[in-house]
Amino acid sequence: MPHWLIIDLEATTDEGGWPVTEMEVIEIGASLVNRQGREVDHFQRFVRPQRRPLLTPFCRQLTHITQANIDAATPLSEVWPLFERWLGQHQTRLEGWASWGDYDRQQLELEWQRHGLDSALAHTPHINLKQRFAKARRLDKPLGLNGALQLAGMQFHGQQHRALEDARNTARLLPLILPV
């Protein structure tokens, strides 16, 4: 049975947002699901940012990630190989990977380049589920994840702006977006 990988990242930011080039990943959440959106496996790790290791008060409040979580984490150059090893066991059944919007793909590509990392995901098809959902529902403009869930008659499960919870909630919309 084919699987899809849903990825969500949390990153350093401040009120008003930062350009993607200024942001660094602080949490990776990945939910490996079947086409019905049921989780088969998952991956979650905190990541210690290198350029701005101190989280802004806005970032801590938004994500509910503490400075202690980040201080105890390892840099992406150490976390990413763990992710690749985890992903490797599922690679043969992986149909593609997806995220809610294009930010996560852009951030990962930037981080891979910045840290000189190679990834199997770079050679795996990516789908922007936010755009696909808007197109499937004939919306004038794409919705945020919570708005899309509500439109689909679902409630958000867990804490918003936490990587694994966001990935899992995104996965719940997968069956409404993917062709059967």
Among candidate residues 11, 163, 28, 142, the one with its CA nearest the CA of residue 84: 28
Q: Is 153 exposed, middle or buried (0-12, 13-18, 19+ CB in 10 A)?
A: exposed
Question: What residue type is assigned to position 79 of the chain?
Answer: V
Active-site residue, selected from the candidate residues 10, 27, 111, 165 = 10
Q: Is 160 exposed, middle or buried (0-12, 13-18, 19+ CB in 10 A)?
A: middle
DSSP β-bridge partners for residue 8: 29
Active-site residue, selected from the candidate residues 39, 42, 90, 161 = 161
64 is catalytic: no
24 is catalytic: no
Helix (H) and strand (E) counts in the chain: 7, 5
Pairing of the two strands 25-34 and 94-99: unpaired
DSSP β-bridge partners for residue 46: 27
What is the token pair recorded at 61?
A: 């409040």
The catalytic residues are: 10, 161
